[in-house]
Amino acid sequence: MNEDLPWYKQIPNINLINEEDLKFIFSQAEKLLDDTTKNFDSTTAKSNNIVAVVTTILTALTSYFFLNFSYQGTYNIEVTIASLSIIYFAFPTFFIFKNILSTGYCTIGSRPDKLISNLIFSDDTIKNKDTHRTMLLSEIIDYKRRIEDNIYWNRERTINLDRSIKFVLFYPFVIIIAYFFCILISEALL
């Protein structure tokens, strides 16, 4: 088998696959594509929740920082912790921001101009009364591409979501360490 050829051209006797088998393959591809779009929607919803939590925390921390910052140069542990927290929360914001931007993902169904094409309605397919079978095969090939694209985007988005969740969950531990580090610095400054 020549692996440089597209997957569907590597199938021997692809033209002998009957229409009923193509309908079954298409229905399975459609289910998988639907699953990938639902996964995309789920990741978007979770990302929006993380954005809401991080935005709330950043707003509170920024407000605290500006209300308590002293321009006289006195060292304040709480203000230092707030400023470190603001910097810390920039990371999950960076990761999750990619998830809330619009990303091209592939949906179920096809535009009419993709279905009505010279390839599908060629003289040969019309003469052989093979247009429906050719459309099914064309859609199966296109659905495979869409599924692969969605799986790629879902994987990237899930990685970003997982990173953001980890940053948010580790925040209490990081802040405790930062607090004790700030105490050591304040004692060294005295």
Distant-in-sequence, close-in-space partners of 156: CB < 8 Å, separation ≥ 6: 98
Please, where are the H alpha helices in the chain? 19-68, 77-88, 90-100, 112-115, 123-127, 131-189
Distance between CA atoms of 178 and 52, rounded to whole angstroms? 24
- What are the pLDDT digits (tens) for 69-113? 878 777 788 888 898 999 998 888 888 888 888 777 787 877 766
Q: Return the axis-axis angle of helices 19-68 and 77-88, rounded to nearest 10°.
A: 160
Comparing 182 with 115, the larger pLDDT belongs to 182
Mapping DSSP to helix (H, G, I), strand (E, B) and coil, where does residue 99 land?
Answer: helix
Domain boundaries, the chain: 19-189
Average pLDDT value over all residues in the chain: 82
pLDDT given at position 151: 94
1: confidence class by pLDDT, cuts 50, 70, 90:
very low
